[in-house]
Amino acid sequence: MIRIERLDAGAACRHQSALAEVLHDCVAGGASISFMWPFSREQAAHYWKSIVAAVREDRACLLGAFDDDRLGGTVQLWLDGPCNQRHRGDVRKLLVHRAMRRRGMARRLMQALEAEARSRQLSLLTLDTATGSDGERLYRAMDWQSVGVIPRYALWPDGRFCDTTVFYKELAVTAA
């Protein structure tokens, strides 16, 4: 059974090896998520150290998806925008290990992220994803609004250009 947990800095440290494995697997699988191949597990572990610091400082919220006790997916809600944009958050690194896909993990992570954003009184979320990806299809199915496509925005891990689709979602929030 899949469960979603908010990972504080201590939990992120405890799960750092599993988080690194998920990230490494996604890059190895060709995901355009800011890293190039070859990409080592050590590089993945180093990345998560910076995320732990952001979580500790409440600049980011980290969610993990577990199937039984195995961490198989993660997503980040970034909260460190400028003072005139405190009403919005950025979604980053929706990652699901290839062995754990097609179980609804990504959808559950995004539902939990949206609930977390609402609890923080955020009324707008933004993200970008590789055009034509599973992520793009998921966001469209979850009623995210496409702003458009930026051609050659990033690179795939193998060095080919990757177009990016930019999305936003407005959230209904209740007064605090």
- Looking only at the bridges linking them, the beta strands covering 145-155 and 88-96 are unpaired
- Predicted confidence (pLDDT) per residue in 47-97, tens digit: 999 999 999 999 999 999 999 999 999 999 999 999 999 999 999 999 999
The per-residue pLDDT for range 1-12, each reduced to its tens digit, is 999 999 999 999
Kindly state whether residue 137 falls inside one of the protein's structural domains. Answer: yes
Residue 65 placed within a domain: yes
Q: Is residue 86 part of a domain?
A: yes
The domain total for the chain is 1
Residue 155 in domain: yes
In a domain, 176, yes or no: no
In a domain, 175, yes or no: no
**Residue 97 included in any domain:** yes
Q: Which helix (H) or strand (E) holds 64?
A: strand 60-67
Q: What is the CATH number for 104?
A: 3.40.630.30
Look up the pTM and report it.
0.96
Banded model confidence at residue 173, pLDDT cuts 50, 70, 90: confident
Residue 143 lies in a domain: yes
The residue segments making up the domain with residue 165 are: 2-170
| 114 in Cβ contact with 100 (< 8 Å) | no
Beta-carbon contacts of residue 69 (< 8 Å; ≥ 6 apart): none
| pLDDT score recorded for residue 146 | 99
